[in-house]
Amino acid sequence: MPTISPLEKAEILSEALPYIQAFFDKTIVIKYGGNAMIDEELKEGFASDVVLLKLVGMNPVVVHGGGPQINELLDRIGKKGEFIQGMRVTDAETMDVVEMVLGGHVNKEIVSLINKHGGKAVGLTGQDGHFIKAHKLYLKDDAGAGTVDIGQVGEIESIDATIVSHLDAADFIPVIAPIGVDSKGESYNINADLVAGKLAETLKAEKLILMTNTPGVLDKQGQLLTGLTATKIDALFADGTISGGMLPKISSALDAAKNGVNSVHIIDGRVKHALLLEVLTSQGVGTMIRAS
């Protein structure tokens, strides 16, 4: 690794000043997922990045996934995970696993890592204070004429972000597992990208950052699309460029951009310190989406 002189380090730090000023006291919602949640070095780096953003005056809010961890536990109990249109089919047994993994193990690990690096993180699920209200989601079938039942998968009705705002104001870092609840107390597994997007809208966030295992949105030739608008995204949906697991991610990003979030970024979480590169430098590491 090349040696960086103290002067070079100072110049690098000074380059972050305009971004710190621009985003001071602004909310940044981060969907944390992919390899960044598995690789030990990336996990430590993510936690320290979140703490740094908080300490320079921004308000990071973390919404996490946990697909690989859920799959691992399902494998251990001899159950195969199934996806339809990018959504996990969630029967009662799978929902128990989802709550155990997301609301328990994964959430607590992220909280612990952030606290280890000097932050004050608090773990939540949408069941806490009933702040993510949801109802059962039915998907349209391929013919568009009927519906597909995928179990305890939820669609967001509303998010009451009061508890998140109070934590922000008290210098805590909220870490949220994407589990919602209905009026009868039934819990639902909700796609983490959708929760992050809706939460960013509710909080009137400056940025929504979605961490993935790809460089960003790619065209059919595999080339990175660095900037997208609503019109361009509609065309990518229509020609099948965006499909599978990217469908909920891009839909969430587009909805957030259309509903007041200043910019949405889909970034490569496999890149070390991808979060800092996106927020504190001019060198983005993915695709930026704006409404127009």
Asked whether residue 279 is assigned to any structural domain, the reply reads yes
Q: Which domain holds residue 267?
A: 24-289
From the number of C-beta atoms within 10 Å of its C-beta (0-12, 13-18, 19+), residue 231 rates as: exposed
pLDDT band at 2; cut points 50, 70, 90: low
Report angle CA 81, 82, 86 to the nearest 5 degrees. Answer: 120
Residue 209 falls inside a structural domain: yes
Number of domains in the chain: 1
Q: Does 216 fall in a domain?
A: yes
Tokens of 96: 């128990």
Mean pLDDT across 35-47: 91
Per the domain annotation, does 19 fall within a domain?
no
Per-residue pLDDT at 246 = 75
Burial class from Cβ neighbours inside 10 Å (0-12, 13-18, 19+) for residue 283 reads exposed
Evaluate if residue 205 carries a pLDDT over 60. Answer: yes
Closest CA to 49 of 114, 123, 104: 114
- Hey, CA dihedral for 95, 115, 39, 272, is it positive or negative? positive
pLDDT at 193 over 60: yes
Identify the CATH number of the domain in which residue 204 sits: 3.40.1160.10
For residues 84 and 71, what is the distance between their CA atoms, to the nearest angstrom? 15
Interior CA angle at 34 toward 29 and 35, to 5°? 120
The tens digit of pLDDT for each residue in 208-252 reads: 999 988 888 888 888 888 888 878 888 888 887 887 667 777 888
pLDDT, tens digit (0-9, with 9 covering 90-100), for 275-288 = 999 999 887 778 88
Average pLDDT over residues 175-185: 95
92 within a domain of the structure (yes/no): yes
In this prediction, residue 1 has a pLDDT band, given cuts at 50, 70 and 90, of low
pLDDT (0 to 100) of residue 226: 83
Between 63 and 281, the more confident residue is 63
Choice between 25 and 248, residue whose per-residue pLDDT is larger: 25
Residue 189 annotated as part of some ligand binding site:
yes
Residue 235 lies in a domain: yes
* pLDDT greater than 60 at residue 110: yes
Residue 208 confidence (pLDDT): 96
Place of tokens 């990003």: 253
Classify residue 256: in a domain, yes or no.
Answer: yes
Of 172 and 269, which is predicted with more confidence? Answer: 172
The per-residue pLDDT for 238 is: 80
Task: Please write the tens of the pLDDT for every residue from 67-81.
Answer: 889 999 999 999 988
pLDDT in tens, 124-179: 999 999 999 999 998 888 777 788 899 999 999 999 999 999 999 999 999 999 99
| 185 annotated binding-site participant | no
Confirm whether 132 is domain-assigned.
yes
pLDDT the model gives residue 233: 84
Say what the pLDDT of residue 81 is: 83
In this predicted model, which residue has the larger pLDDT, 180 or 234? 180
Question: Is residue 262 part of an annotated ligand binding site?
Answer: no
Per-residue model confidence (pLDDT) at position 150? 92
Average pLDDT of the chain, as a whole number? 90
Q: Which pLDDT belongs to residue 142?
A: 73
* 270 labelled ligand-binding: no
The predicted pLDDT at position 64 comes to: 96
